[in-house]
Amino acid sequence: MKKIFLNITFIFLIGCTKFKMINEVNSNEETRLNVLLISIDDLKDWVGFLNGYEGRVHTPNIDKLASEGVAFTNAHTAATVCCPSRNSFMLGKRGATTGLYNNNQWWKAVYPNEIPLPQYFKQNGYYVAGAGKNFHHTPGNNPPCSWDEYQDQVFDDTWNFSDWSTERYFLTYGYRGPMNKYPDWKPLNKIKSLGSEGDWGPIPNKNDQDYGDVYAVNFTKDFLKKKHLKPFFLASGIYKPHLPWHVPQKYYDMYPLEEIIIPPKIDNDLDDLPNIGKILAIKRSSDYFTIKNSGKIKNAIQAYLASITFVDDQVGRILGGLEKSKYSKNTIVILWSDHGWHLGSKDHWHKGTLWEESTRIPFIIKAPNSDGNGNKCHRPVDMVNVFPTLISLCKIDPKDDLDGYDMSSLLTNPDSNWNYPAITEFGEGNMSVRSENWRYIRYSDGSEELYDMKNDPYEWKNIVNDKIMTNVKDDHSSWVPKVFKSPVIGKNAFYFDPYKYTFLNRKSKDFIDGHE
């Protein structure tokens, strides 16, 4: 495998209000490709085209898109936590390069001159709009500078505290905002110790249109109905199947409890792990044992599956809107998830590990007239590759400070040579390197794991100490950088004004305006 070390230098670009247009808009805008980006939260490989679930999962719309584009079967997130995953995707840079490792950091506050994916398209003549969760959803992660329009938000007005637009949308998620954590109907799963987010079930007397994801998709569909004078970059973020798993009853009805299949496990699965691996597994094991001891593992899996099919319906609404629009023939569609999810494997519940359950995601690219459309690609890829791939497909000037690689060749021929693994991080110094047949994990203390993914898909046997595996281990370990960027300062280092969307460094007194 070709050895290429991560570049950990930083090249700062000028902010969005102080730039000159990199490329002038073409005289005939209809010749330029549009981009439709569909981001899904917490969706593991439990979709039909990936066969991640051993039972039947109802994802006809995602599977249809997979059959029409290039469906990547060995795709992995760049980080197994929401905020660093989305930062890596949007900035095209790994945590090892930026020091953005956790949910308690603001990329704009520490790198005010970084140009994320939507803003780069904005600088290159695109009209850039978004809805729902694209960057991380908490305030301070989605600066107005990145967009021309964001779900009903007028940028001359205050940027709503939720980072997502109107008060109505802010409230319809049901787990944030000025709402009672435990109204009369909650918790629906009767396990109050899991907390407000750990709940699942259909919310009483709630119509489909009241769900925040439906509202975000409505914005996306309305956008596609309009006439646009520029090529567009449209990002639509779907929040489910993130917890809580509150979706309408009809989706639960599609998964009878007696048909639910619990993923296989083995006893003593943690015995051959280094201490850090054991800590990661145990860290979120309490929820698993709480649910198991309550006799509700099947109920929880049912809720996760119901949420997946709810998401699939929203994807279908977006794709249906695109198909009916004038943009159906000249729009690149990308669908991805920010990370996977454990449902008991290695006694873990949630995300935040470096094993397959947490890293493997659905990922599809449908580019107009691409020779590879309708095929699957089994090459290992991760999400920092999306930024360079999109600017290549759209014939935008390259951005030379990105960590990823252009995947265009895989869209032309999914079986073409590809000399790069999929790399995933979790925190400083912890990294997984996934090739076609192997997963290698290096932790911050130097401890390691190695799995034969072809013969041991559940990662039950750590073979890193087998002498015959030395060459495989060395080949994969060469992708781990010698130096990781230290974690950048966290949110507590700043005063953030969500209404003016500004950051003030409490120590240096540096002032950052999120509109610039």
Q: What separation in angstroms does the CA of 493 have from each of 163, 430, 489, 506, 508?
A: 20, 25, 6, 6, 10
Contact 58, 307 (CB under 8 A): no
Diameter of the chain by CA atoms?
Answer: 65
SS (H, E, C) 159-177: CCCCCCCCHHHHHHCCCCC
- Virtual CA dihedral for 132, 58, 281, 489, nearest 10 degrees? -10
Give the residues across from 79 on adjacent strands.
425
Q: What separation in angstroms does the CA of 101 have from each of 7, 430, 438, 446?
A: 17, 10, 24, 18
CA–CA gap between residue 69 and residue 315 (Å, rounded): 15
CA–CA gap between residue 342 and residue 299 (Å, rounded): 15
83 noted as active-site residue:
no
Non-local (6+) Cβ contacts of 168 within 8 A are 215
Contact 462, 451 (CB under 8 A): yes
Across 264-421, where does the E strand assignment appear?
A: 331-337, 342-343, 349-350, 363-366, 375-377, 381-382
CA–CA gap between residue 309 and residue 315 (Å, rounded): 10
Give the number of other CB atoms < 10 A from CB of residue 339.
30
Rg (CA), the chain: 22
The active-site residue out of 16, 58, 76, 82 is: 82
145 noted as active-site residue:
no
- The helix/strand/coil state of 76 is strand
Contact 77, 356 (CB under 8 A): no
The active-site residue out of 58, 136, 246, 350 is: 136
Active site residues: 82, 136
